[in-house]
Amino acid sequence: MTGEEDAPRDPGELTEEQAGRMLAEMNEVIRAGEEMRRLRGEMIQLFVGLGWTQDRIARLTGMSQPAVSKQVAKDRAGEPPPPPGLSLDQRDGPWLEGRLWGLAEEISETFDGGARCTRLVDALLRGRERFTPRNVDALRRLVEEDLRRRPGELPGGCRDTYDAISRGLDVPSAADPGTPPPAGSASVRRALARRIQRDLLTPGGRDRQGPPAAGR
């Protein structure tokens, strides 16, 4: 090593490595923001397909009615796509991943952030991680560990829910020839499944299940 490499760095000097880490962190936030805006736009189209009024959508999204109209006009190409089914028992990958995500969030909150799955759940929520096969496998493993650690402290049905999701992910269902793919993008389907799964794990959640009413 040279004397220059051995010499301690001036704390006031910004290294290329430090700059790279900062910019990588900023890029993650920017990318997550762009993805969330895109997902919100897709959800608005979903609400339109359900027959919801633009005033209602504006109230729920916190946007102005003109902004919602602009979003609808920007994203619409012909008729709105058919709304995705809201039955929990759907077998495509994004839907099952969304259910797993919702289950992991419920476990994390139950253990007040002390669950093994908490760090990955937060990273997925903030857009720092993606739903890659590797991350889905990691989330499954962490959820399984949490289910084994303190089963008596979890809401009823968590183990059965995990087993059903795991079976679906292990043996993907083959679509019948000529059957159209499930409605909605992968991001929308994950978001819907996550929300529905969480609600069903909450006390009284089964009584609240059902598709949103149109036009209110």
pLDDT of 86 > 90? The answer is no
Alpha carbons 196 and 86: distance in angstroms, whole number: 8
Q: Which range is least confidently modeled, 15-29, 48-62, 114-128, 153-167?
A: 15-29
Q: Which range is least confidently modeled, 1-10, 144-153, 191-200?
A: 1-10
Give per-residue burial for 153-173: e unless 16+ CB within 10 Å, then b: ebbeebeebbebbeebbeeee
pLDDT recorded at residue 37: 87
- Mean pLDDT over 39-65 rounds to 89
pLDDT band at 80 (very low <50, low <70, confident <90, very high): low
- Mean pLDDT over 11-38 rounds to 81
pLDDT digits (tens, 9 = 90+) for 89-131: 899 999 999 999 999 999 999 999 899 999 999 999 888 899 9
**Cα 125–chain centre separation:** 6
- Mean pLDDT over 81-95 rounds to 85
pLDDT of 181 > 60? The answer is yes
Burial of 123 (0-12, 13-18, 19+ CB in 10 A): middle
What would you report as the CA-atom Rg of the chain, rounded to the nearest whole angstrom?
21
Report the predicted TM-score, pTM, of the whole model to 2 decimal places. 0.77
**Angle between helical axes of 186-201 and 158-170 (0-180°, round to 10):** 150
- Mean pLDDT over 190-200 rounds to 93
Of residues 113 and 78, more confidently modeled: 113
pLDDT of 190 > 60? The answer is yes
pLDDT recorded at residue 163: 96
pLDDT of 188 > 50? The answer is yes
